[in-house]
Amino acid sequence: MKDVLAQYRLATERYYRPIGQEIELFAAAHARRMPIILKGPTGCGKTRFVEHMAASLNKPLITVACNEDTTASDLTGRFLLRGDSTEWHDGPLTTAVRYGAICYLDEVVEARPDTLVVIHPLADDRRVLPLDKRGELIHAHPDFQLVVSYNPGYQSFGKELKASTRQRFGAIDFQYPDEAAETDVVAHEGEVDRDIALKLVRIATQSRELRGRGLAEGISTRMLVHACGLIRGGIDAHAACALAMTRPLSDDDEVQSALDGFVRAQFGA
């Protein structure tokens, strides 16, 4: 029999630097197949954490990057034309439910409201997925686990999970690591000297203090790793920081000036 989930098995374990008890908490939740919400700012390591846990638990991982156009059909599946007839194709959520994988819905609050209705019966003790278009009710495979993530910062823009959804999940909070831990991550992932990593982290830390004062989000750990790649490739640190870190954040001249000041303070004029 063909291994449907073969393409979703991670060949190597992903590097992850734990901050608190998140590894132990996720492992305990997975043992009970408890659905989990990961909450935290953009680029703080939520997706990398899920990849790390799936690999360490030796479980296939199906990831869906949700956006404003993501519908329930995108998750569950749809009928597609094949020659003169139509043929049903399972969506990523249905594949995970049917065959037993961790299904990770990244930034789930971005998806259309009908997607949340679909996951409700999967996230309580029923563990079922109704496929109304097929007249089918799928009972989740024993290995299936549902994981979703979102950025609480979006709540200010009217995007948040309803209480009826939240209460079906356990939750783990994520924040950016402290200076020492984030420096470890950036140096490892960016393959740069610790001194460069530390300077980048300090720029990011200052930028995060501007959240709500001109910035919706500060510089993420992900952006720091991108800057490392540019610096490692021979790009000047100031130009690398502008390209990967400061210019993507804002078009406001005053904010950009402040960010450039943070860079100069670390790398010189």
pLDDT tens digit at each of 269 positions of the chain: 468 899 999 878 889 999 999 999 999 999 999 999 999 998 899 999 999 999 999 999 999 999 999 999 999 999 998 878 889 999 999 999 999 999 999 999 999 888 889 999 999 999 999 999 999 999 999 999 999 999 887 554 556 788 889 999 999 999 999 999 999 999 999 999 999 999 999 999 999 999 888 888 899 999 999 999 999 999 999 999 999 999 999 999 999 999 999 999 999 97
Rounded to 5, what percent of the chain is helix, strand, coil? 45, 15, 35
Last residue of one domain, picked from the residues 131, 155, 173: 173
User: Considering 173, 190, 222, which residue would you say is the last residue of a domain?
Assistant: 173
Nearest Cα to Cα of residue 66 among 103, 114, 106: 106
What is the number of other CB atoms lying within 10 angstroms of the CB of residue 260? 15
Residue 262 lies in a domain: yes
- pTM, to two decimals: 0.90
Nearest to 200 by CA among 213, 218, 174, 173: 218
Number of domains observed in the structure of the chain: 2
pLDDT at position 212 = 81
Q: Are residues 168 and 243 in the same domain?
A: no
Domain-embedded: residue 1: no
Residue 59 shares a structural domain with residue 145? yes
Helix axes 194-208, 253-267, angle to 10 degrees: 150
State residue 1's pLDDT score: 44
Q: Same structural domain for residues 11 and 139? A: yes
Domain's final residue, options 173, 197, 220: 173
Query: Is residue 202, in this structure, part of any structural domain at all?
Result: yes
Question: Is 25 part of a structural domain of the chain?
Answer: yes
Range of the domain at 130: 6-173
pLDDT at 158: 56
Both 138 and 187 in one domain: the answer is no
Question: Do 184 and 147 fall within a single domain?
Answer: no
Query: Is beta strand 136-139 parallel, antiparallel or unpaired with respect to 128-131?
Result: antiparallel
What is the predicted pLDDT for the residue at 156?
46
For residue 211, the model assigns a pLDDT of 85
Position 103, amino acid? C
CATH number, domain at 53? 3.40.50.300
